[in-house]
Amino acid sequence: MSLLLDPPIRQEIEYRAADVPAAVVARALPWNARLWQHGAVRKSVILLALALLWEGAARWQGNDLLLPSFWQTAQAFVSGIASGELLERVQASLSVLLRGYVAGIAAAFVLTALAVSTRIGRDVLETLVAMFNPLPAIALLPLALLWFGLGNGSLVFVIVHAVLWPLALGTYAGFQGVPETLRMAGRNYGLRGLPLVVYILVPAALPSILSGLKIGWAFAWRTLIAAELVFGVSSGKGGLGWYIFQNRNELYTDKVFAGLATVILIGLLVENLAFRALERVTVRRWGMLR
Amino acid sequence: MNAPVQLLRPPAAGAIAPLLRADGVSLSYSDGARTVRATHDVSFDVYRGDRFVLLGPSGCGKSSLLKAAGGFIAPGAGTITINGARVTGPGPDRIAVFQEFDQLPPWKTVRQNVMFPLLAARRMARKPAEEAADYWIAKVGLDGFADAYPHTLSGGMKQRVAIARALAMQPDVLLMDEPFAALDALTRRKMQEELGRLWEEARFTLLFVTHSIEEALVVGNRILLLSPHPGRVRAELNSHQFGLHSAGSAEFQAAAARIHAMLFEEPAAAPAAGDAEPAWGRRVAAERT
């Protein structure tokens, strides 16, 4: 025992917990901090800043043919919508896009369901993804044109190729990440094969599947616009890519920008409305994604 | 065979047949390069209404035994039968409660979680399943949380949901794999108490895996003691006389000390019969550390 090394022995004391004022326990944030919590507000500010930057750059550069200003593009966009031409193009593109997207999702689901139920299915999926995922969909377009002719069939084919592999990869990775305990719980209730995939694996892997769907959507858009730029017209009705290409040929640069802006706008809408809403009612609500 | 030193097998108890019977069960697992024996020649009988505990140090294969009873892994040798029928795969007559909290699908609310096996096994229609779920949710003290998602619950509450889900199925045997091991000490004690209360009310048959001597004595009425790797039966003991109320008593301490001594005895004192295997067991254990 030494006084230097041993701590002193002190009196025991019992306290009664004092009341804490409510204002200290929970306090509301000021209104500007609360507003800044909304992602939509922050992103709108970013978009506004980009538009201002664009307007400034266009005015400083002063050549409408090379870089029309934000205002001119907005006018071309509004008149395109008003005349109905732009909407028609959007509709043509979206109908092809959705067909390819849905077909790609179905194919990816079949492939991954086979991959989790059988070993040979897994080998097939891994081999095919390794082979075709690095292959740009647009590189298949000449072949598709040869096989399916100048028409929507070729477009759907390349879109399926663009969607299928990244989605299959993401879904399969998600399936593999499902906790073993959860699988055992499902098997415990007599689930096996397809019901196990549908009732346990798909919801458990939903974060990965959703991110696969987002990547697939972006790839499908890019592929479609690029493919339309290459040939575009089928039965006299071209999509957005064709609209961009045509207007560039005629040097309507503001319309080219309006077409590009439409592609971007649709992308933003789908991301922020469709996918965000899907996430909010599923994985965020379930606490699988913060 | 291990030489029975203190192995007191009950005589085939007259007219009562065991509900779950493990007969000479050996389990192995493969780690790629070789197969490792997890348990060796384990036999035990579980009777209806038993709270049967598998107790042993980590790596003795007690969890594997439970999973074999659940039908998740197939024994390399020996058989497991339930009601005389051989266990060949998982089924809703043996519902498992695991240690991990992720056994609850996060996309289902508490009520949906409890209803899920009833619907998946086609045991009930939606309406009666909902009523059964609410009954068992109330039984485990979670009324008011029926519409909550699992990620909003504490660990103890999640385990209660898992227990309610298992009991709602009214399985022949309830399998519990260290269900309270991931809980804090205070919650664990409370859950042990509640499990005892639930058993008093529902009188289910329980097969319970733990590595805690105290928990085995408190929860079980009979304890199968397994030796370290590979798991062999070391003893089969009674613990029906103990509960949480007697946890501090002298007999309880004596029983705990007796089990402790049997678990941690020197290897030299181990049964000498079948020399090759204990030696192999020791070698593997040494390699694994």
Span A185-198, pLDDT tens digits:
999 998 888 889 99
Q: Rounded to a whole number, what is the distance in Å from the CA of A286 to chain B's nearest CA?
A: 5
Which residues contact residue A287 at a Cβ distance below 8 angstroms, ignoring those fewer than 6 apart? Answer: B106, B149, B150, B151, B152
C-beta of residue A160 within 8 angstroms of C-beta of residue B63: no
Residues in A touching B94 (Cβ below 8 Å): 188
Q: How many CB atoms lie within 10 A of CB B232?
A: 26
Map out the domains of chain A as residue ranges. Answer: 69-281
* CB proximity B10 to A under 8 Å: no
Which residue range forms the structural domain that includes residue B257? Answer: 1-88+174-179+205-242+253-289
pLDDT of B281 reads 40
The reply to whether the predicted model has a pTM over 0.90 is no
Query: Mean pLDDT in chain B?
Result: 83
Which residues contact residue B221 at a Cβ distance below 8 angstroms, ignoring those fewer than 6 apart? Answer: B50, B51, B52, B238, B239, B240
User: Is B117 in contact with A187 (Cβ distance < 8 A)?
Assistant: no
Give the whole-angstrom CA distance, residue B34 versus residue B10: 37
For residue B121, is it within any domain?
A: no
pLDDT of A152 reads 84
In this complex, which of B67, B100, B120 lies closest to A191 when CB atoms are compared? B120
For residue B107, is it within any domain?
A: no
Q: Rounded to a whole number, what is the distance in Å from the CA of A90 to chain B's nearest CA?
A: 36
pLDDT of A149 reads 82
Please spell the DSSP secondary structure of B76-144, one letter per residue.
SEEEEEETTEEP-S--TTEEEE-SSGGGS-TTS-HHHHHHHHHHHTT-S-HHHHHHHHHHHHHHTT-TT
Q: pLDDT tens, B123-139? A: 889 999 999 999 999 98
* CB proximity A210 to B under 8 Å: no
User: Is B149 in contact with A286 (Cβ distance < 8 A)?
Assistant: yes
CATH code of the domain in which B219 resides: 3.40.50.300
Instruction: Return the H-helix or E-strand segment holding A28.
Output: none
pLDDT of A192 reads 85
Tokens encoding B67: 């999973």
For residue B146, is it within any domain?
A: no
* CB proximity A189 to B under 8 Å: yes
For residue B274, is it within any domain?
A: yes
> Sheet of B77-82: strands edge to edge?
B35-46, B20-30, B77-82, B85-86
Query: What mean pLDDT comes out for the span B249-271?
Result: 76
Q: Quick one: pLDDT band at residue B285, thresholds 50, 70, 90?
A: very low
Residues in A touching B152 (Cβ below 8 Å): 287
Give the percent of chain B with pLDDT over 70: 87
pLDDT of A3 reads 67
Domains held by chain B: number: 1
Task: State the burial class of residue B248 (Cβ atoms within 10 Å of its Cβ: 0-12, 13-18, 19+).
Answer: exposed
pLDDT of A1 reads 56
Residues (pLDDT < 70) of chain A are: 1-3, 232-237
Long-range contacts of A94-97, Cβ-Cβ distance < 8 Å, separation of 24 or more: A94/A266, A96/A152, A96/A155, A96/A156, A96/A159, A96/A224, A96/A239, A97/A159, A97/A220, A97/A221, A97/A224
Report the residue of chain A nearest B69, measured CA to CA: A188
* CB proximity A281 to B under 8 Å: no
Nearest C-alpha neighbor of B215 from the set B49, B45, B53? B53
Residue of A180, A181, A188 to mutate when probing chain B, most B C-beta within 10 A:
A188
CA B255 from chain centre, in angstroms, equals 20
C-beta of residue B39 within 8 angstroms of C-beta of residue B209: no
Q: pLDDT tens, A201-212? A: 999 999 999 999
pLDDT of A237 reads 67
Residues in B touching A195 (Cβ below 8 Å): 120
User: Is B105 in contact with A206 (Cβ distance < 8 A)?
Assistant: no
Backbone torsions φ then ψ of A90, nearest 5 degrees: -60, -45
Report helix, strand and coil shares of chain A as percent, to nearest 5: 75, 0, 25
Residue of B98, B113, B167 to mutate when probing chain A, most A C-beta within 10 A:
B98
> Taking a contact as any Cβ pair under 8 Å apart, which residues of chain B between 134 and 173 contact chain A?
149-152, 169
Q: pLDDT tens, B85-101? A: 898 989 889 999 999 98
Nearest C-alpha neighbor of B177 from the set B100, B124, B232, B116? B100
In this complex, which of A179, A203, A206 lies closest to B102 when CB atoms are compared? A179
Bridge partner residues of B39 (DSSP): B27, B231
Q: pLDDT tens, B4-36? A: 444 445 555 556 888 999 998 998 888 778 888
For residue B144, is it within any domain?
A: no
Could you give the 3-state DSSP secondary structure of residue A267? helix
Q: Quick one: pLDDT band at residue B275, thresholds 50, 70, 90?
A: very low
For residue B79, is it within any domain?
A: yes
User: Is B91 in contact with A203 (Cβ distance < 8 A)?
Assistant: no
CATH numeric code, A69-281: 1.10.3720.10
Which parts of A84-151 fold into alpha helices (H)? 85-117, 119-132, 141-148
Residue B286 has pLDDT above 70, yes or no: no
Bridge partner residues of B77 (DSSP): B26
Residue labelled with tokens 């399916």: A148
CA-to-CA separations, B232 to A163, B9, B23, B227, in angstroms, rounded: 54, 15, 13, 5
